[in-house]
């Protein structure tokens, strides 16, 4: 049991313990899809949705299947399978019932299957012994935190197109440097709230 | 006991997830049969909905170029979809220019068929075939370059123009991928296709082509490529290659002298050291019978002894040998810095940009 309040966890997951800028999880899609704000918002929304839902499903799987049968060593592989299958299912569901939403979000879903931030959120839930509501709060906070981070990055990269980046730093190198600076900025939030 | 339980539990879970997905796919995303209309043809093709446009075209033996196997990471499979393709997806945006988006160009591997769809395909691409071939020989040309000759089984003949390329199907952990190689055998050699392949460490296509042996079977599609040799015999042809960028030149030169034995042609080829030199004797022999063929090889890392050719980077030799003001057409093949340097030299010699073709890799 973890006795931090759900609201504290929610805000800590967005600011002080941002899954991207503090834990550096989900970097690949963060770097690859942060060229336009619109794309980033779509991807961020999809990540948030999948993060909340998969942490809930994985919470159930962990507490009602893995623990009672003493199979905690299968945590990683089961979480990965659940996430992959769920994301596929959501993709088909969205495609069937809202083509508009599918074109806006659905195409990002395959990218998310292998996003380590999603798996990371489920694993943090296990390590930090969250209750159900804390899990929901953390999943939502981590997803929003990831979205905030990629939106900041996309905004900066859109501006960067008009700045004179030295040639060796153009593209991914400058994106990595900017990510580092953003991470340092977020360290300024440290001390406001904290979760362990 | 815990092992048995682990295996049972994990298998059970994955099986049930897989079953759920299969049922979901049947119920949720079933589009039935759709019509695929190519170039406003009279008889549209009947294709299964739900698959990508690229997959549907390949299933109907229309082989548009694609290198990545439909993952949307090469941007080669561009075709015009006039109706029924849905909106342009964010995954395509980075490969399409604004002009292309306005004229309805799409990446075929990203377009999913959900309704009747209308596409336009250049007639050149409709002539592309899938070839079954047998490796006739695989000759080492240098320490990391092999010349590979493939005898065609079905279809038994290929109609190609010099400068065109084929896409060889190579196996990969995620299913077959296609890798493009220029044809080095002359156009009149209709029953075989030769390639010049440099081994790229970790490269899927080159590793595959370097491990196959004579007698092995390969599949490739082709021919692709827009290059047209200038038909006016007064126009000189300039071929500039570097590294392993030899294949299209060899095709151009042999085809050229088969048709116009008196035509002037310059071959410039840049290598690092003497051990990277190949095909030099063949071209020198050809130059004996065709005095208007000028063969110039240059080594960039001078190792002096026993070398009668040029030294230094190849664009310096181009600058040295060619005089200005002659009507020429140039074909360049090699690494980007070489292409850029040679293009500059050729432009200074008076070649028009539309007469300079290149293959950067």
**pLDDT score of B303:** 66
Domains of chain B (ranges; CATH) run 33-125 (3.10.20.30), 128-224 (2.40.30.10), 236-360 (3.40.50.80)
Angstrom distances, CA of residue B259 to CA of A143, B233, B253: 66, 10, 10
Give the pLDDT score at A1.
66
DSSP letter for each residue of A11-67: HHHHTTT-TTTTT--SHHHHHHT-S-HHHHHHHHHHHHHHHHHHHHHHHHHIIIIIT
Q: What separation, in Å, do the N-terminal and C-terminal C-alpha atoms of chain A show?
A: 12
- The per-residue pLDDT for A184 is 92
pLDDT of A131 > 70? The answer is yes
Q: How far apart are CA B178 and CA B324, in angstroms?
A: 41
Q: How distant is the Cα of B52 from the closest Cα of chain A, in angstroms?
A: 13
Closest CA to B129 of B183, B66, B182, B62: B62
Give the distance from CA B40 to its chain's centroid.
Answer: 28
Q: Which token pair is A82? A: 């659940």
**Once rounded to an integer, what is the mean pLDDT over residues B248-277?**
89
Q: Is the pLDDT of residue B24 over 70?
A: yes
How far is the C-alpha of A48 from the C-alpha of A142, rounded, in Å? 7
Which of A 109-168 lie inside 8 A of B, CB atoms?
none
Question: Per-residue pLDDT averaged across A48-66, rounded?
Answer: 92
State the pLDDT confidence band at B319, using cuts at 50, 70 and 90.
confident
Lowest-confidence range among A22-31, A95-104, B13-22?
A95-104
Report phi then psi at B214, rounded to 5: -55, 135
Calculate how close chain B gets to A195, using CA atoms only, in Å: 32
- Does residue A32 surpass a pLDDT of 90? no
User: What residue in A sits closest to B91 (Cα-Cα)?
Assistant: A107
Displacement of CA B170 from its chain's centroid (Å) = 13
Question: Does residue A151 carry a pLDDT above 90?
Answer: yes
Q: Is the pLDDT of residue B170 over 80?
A: yes
Cα separation values, A184 from A22, A148, A189, A191, Å: 9, 15, 10, 14
Average pLDDT of span B243-262 = 88
pLDDT at A36: 81
Q: Is A76 on the interface with B (CB under 8 A)?
A: no
Q: Residue A107's pLDDT is what?
A: 65
Distance (Å) from the alpha carbon of B344 to chain A's nearest alpha carbon: 21
Closest CA to A54 of A93, A94, A82: A82
The contacts of residue B185 (CB under 8 Å, 6+ apart) are: B149, B192, B193, B194, B250, B251, B254
Whole-number Cα distances in Å, B278 to B199, B274, B300 = 15, 9, 15
The distance of B10 to chain A (nearest Cα, Å) reads: 7
pTM for the full predicted model:
0.63
Instruction: Count interface pairs A-B at CB distance under 8 A.
Output: 57
* Chain B residues inside the 8 Å CB shell of A70: 2, 5
- Average pLDDT taken over every residue of chain A: 87
The confidence score (pLDDT) of residue A183 equals 92
Give the model's pLDDT for residue A154. Answer: 92
What was the pLDDT predicted at B151? 93
Please give the average per-residue pLDDT across A168-180, as a whole number: 89
Cβ of A14: how many Cβ atoms within 10 Å?
22
A78 — contact with chain B (CB < 8 Å)? yes
How sure is the predictor about B360, in pLDDT bands with cuts at 50, 70 and 90?
A: low
Asked if residues A44 and A150 have their Cβ atoms less than 8 Å apart, the reply is yes
Residue B220 is encoded by which pair of tokens?
A: 């490739």
User: For tokens 């059970």, what's the residue?
Assistant: B12
Under 8 Å between Cβ of A121 and A51: yes
B87 touches chain A (CB under 8 A): yes
Compute the Cα dihedral for A7, A13, A15, A16 and give only its sign: positive
Mean pLDDT computed over A62-87: 90
Average pLDDT, chain B: 87
The pair phi, psi for residue B228, each rounded to 5°, is -125, 125
**Choice between B361 and B143, residue whose per-residue pLDDT is larger:** B143
Mean pLDDT on A62-76: 89
Beta strands in chain B (DSSP E): 33-38, 45-48, 78-83, 105-107, 117-120, 129-140, 145-154, 165-170, 177-182, 192-198, 217-224, 236-242, 265-271, 293-299, 310-311, 328-334, 356-360
The residue with greater pLDDT, B114 or B43, is: B114
Is the CB of residue B76 less than 8 Å from the CB of residue B108? no
CA distance B314 to B299: 8
Pick from B10, B18, B89: CB nearest A74: B10
Residue A195 has pLDDT above 80, yes or no: no
Q: What is the DSSP string of B276-334?
A: G--SHHHHHHHHHH-TTEEEEEEESS---TT--SEES-HHHHHHHHPPSS--EEEEEEE
**Nearest by Cα to A93 from A53, A142, A133:** A53
Q: In the structure, what pLDDT confidence band is assigned to residue A40 with cuts at 50, 70 and 90?
A: confident
* Contact between A92 and B87 using a beta-carbon 8 Å cutoff: no
Confidence of residue A58 (pLDDT cuts 50, 70, 90): very high
User: pLDDT > 90: what percent of chain B?
Assistant: 20
| pLDDT, tens only, A75-102 | 999 999 999 998 888 888 887 777 777 7
CB-CB neighbors (< 8 A) of B24 in chain A: 89, 92-93
**Tokens 């709060």 belong to residue:** A137
B21 vs A77, A82, A88: nearest CB: A88
């Amino acid at each position: 049991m973890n006795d931090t309040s759900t609201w504290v966890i929610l805000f800590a997951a967005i600011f002080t313990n941002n899954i991207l800028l503090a834990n550096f999880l989900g970097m690949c899609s963060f770097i690859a899809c942060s060229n336009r704000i619109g794309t980033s918002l779509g991807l961020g929304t999809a990540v948030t949705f999948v993060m909340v839902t998969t942490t809930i499903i994985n919470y159930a799987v962990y507490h009602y299947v893995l623990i009672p049968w003493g199979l905690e060593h299968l945590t990683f592989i089961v979480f990965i399978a659940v996430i992959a299958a769920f994301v596929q299912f959501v993709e088909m569901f969205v495609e069937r019932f809202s083509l508009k939403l599918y074109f806006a979000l659905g195409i990002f879903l395959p990218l998310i299957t292998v996003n380590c931030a999603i798996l990371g959120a489920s694993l943090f839930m296990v390590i930090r012994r969250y209750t159900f509501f804390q899990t929901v709060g953390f999943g939502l906070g981590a997803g929003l935190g990831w979205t905030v981070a990629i939106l900041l990055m996309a905004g900066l990269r859109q501006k960067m197109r008009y700045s004179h980046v030295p040639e060796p730093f153009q593209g991914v190198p400058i994106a990595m440097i900017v990510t580092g600076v953003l991470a340092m900025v977020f360290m300024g939030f440290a001390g406001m709230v904290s979760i362990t | 006991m815990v092992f048995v339980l682990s295996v049972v539990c994990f298998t059970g879970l994955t099986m049930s997830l897989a079953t759920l997905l299969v049922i979901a796919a049947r119920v949720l995303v079933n589009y039935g049969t759709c019509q695929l209309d190519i170039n406003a043809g009279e008889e549209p093709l009947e294709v299964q909905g739900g698959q990508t446009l690229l997959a549907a075209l390949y299933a109907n033996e229309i082989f548009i170029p694609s290198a990545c196997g439909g993952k949307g990471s090469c941007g080669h499979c561009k075709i015009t979809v006039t109706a029924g393709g849905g909106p342009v997806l964010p995954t395509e945006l980075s490969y399409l220019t604004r002009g292309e988006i306005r004229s309805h160009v799409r990446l075929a591997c990203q377009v999913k068929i959900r309704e009747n769809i209308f596409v336009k395909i250049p007639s050149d691409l409709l002539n592309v075939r899938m070839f079954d071939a047998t490796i006739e020989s695989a000759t080492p040309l240098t320490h990391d370059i092999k010349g590979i000759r493939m005898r065609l089984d079905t279809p038994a003949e290929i109609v190609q123009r010099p400068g065109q390329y084929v896409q060889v199907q190579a196996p990969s952990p995620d299913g077959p991928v296609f890798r493009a190689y220029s044809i080095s055998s002359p156009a009149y050699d209709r029953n075989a296709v030769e390639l010049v392949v440099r081994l790229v460490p970790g490269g899927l296509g080159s590793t595959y082509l370097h491990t196959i042996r004579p007698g092995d079977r390969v599949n490739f599609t082709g021919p692709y490529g827009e290059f047209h040799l200038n038909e006016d015999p007064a126009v000189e042809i300039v071929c500039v290659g570097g590294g392993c960028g030899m294949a299209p030149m060899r095709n151009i030169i042999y085809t050229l002298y088969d048709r116009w034995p008196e035509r002037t042609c310059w071959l410039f080829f840049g290598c690092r050291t003497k051990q990277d030199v190949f095909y030099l004797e063949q071209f020198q022999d050809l130059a004996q019978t065709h005095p208007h063929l000028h063969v110039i090889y240059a080594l960039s890392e001078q190792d002096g002894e026993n070398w009668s050719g040029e030294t230094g980077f190849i664009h310096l030799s181009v600058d040295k040998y060619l005089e200005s003001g002659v009507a020429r057409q140039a074909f360049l093949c090699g690494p980007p810095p070489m292409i850029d340097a040679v293009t500059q030299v050729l432009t200074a010699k008076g070649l028009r940009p539309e007469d300079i073709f290149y293959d950067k890799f």
